[in-house]
Structure 1
Amino acid sequence: MPLTFRKSFRILPGVRLNINKRSWSITTGSRNGPRYTRSSTGRRTTSMDLPGPFGWRRTRHSKGRDRGY
């Protein structure tokens, strides 16, 4: 099992700084509404929890490629 490093800090209410071994990111938004994440690698993600076991996420990379999951 590989070792991983991931740490999250709350900067302000609704704003988190996430750090891992390769990059960092900032997440804004609340638990009940949409969340927006911008990464140091150029990745932008919008996500939202839906009722039940569902969730929605859309990721856009700096090259303009769009992935809807």
Structure 2
Amino acid sequence: MPLTFRKSFQILPGVRLNINKRSWSITTGGKNGPRHTHSSTGRRTTSMDLPGPFGWRKTRKGGGH
């Protein structure tokens, strides 16, 4: 099983800096409501936890609109 590197830091309330081996990203939002993630690779993701074991996610790759 390969080893992975991932670290997440809270830099402000509701703002996290996520770092892994190949890129970094900024996540805004909290547990209640949508979260928006912008990656250094251009990927943008919006996600939200829904009641129960459900969740919703939409990803745009390459910074496209």
Task: Please report the TM-score for the alignment, with normalisation by the length of structure 2.
Answer: 0.95
- One-letter amino acid matched to 1:21: K
2:50 maps to 50
Does 1:9 find its partner at 2:14?
no
> Over aligned residue pairs, what C-alpha RMSD do you find?
1.2
Instruction: Tell me the equivalent position of 1:60.
Output: 60
Task: Write out the 4+ residue segments of structure 1 that deviate beyond 3 Å after TM superposition.
Answer: none
Aligned residue pair count:
65
Give 2:62's aligned amino acid.
S
Write the deviation string for residues 1-50 of structure 1: whole angstroms up to 9, x where unpaired.
10100000000000000000000000000101100000000000000000
Shift of 1:64: 2.7
2:25 aligns with 25
Give the CA deviation at 1:63. 5.5
Alpha-carbon distance, 1:62 to partner? 1.8
Unaligned ranges ≥5, structure 1:
none
TM-score, normalised via structure 1 length: 0.89
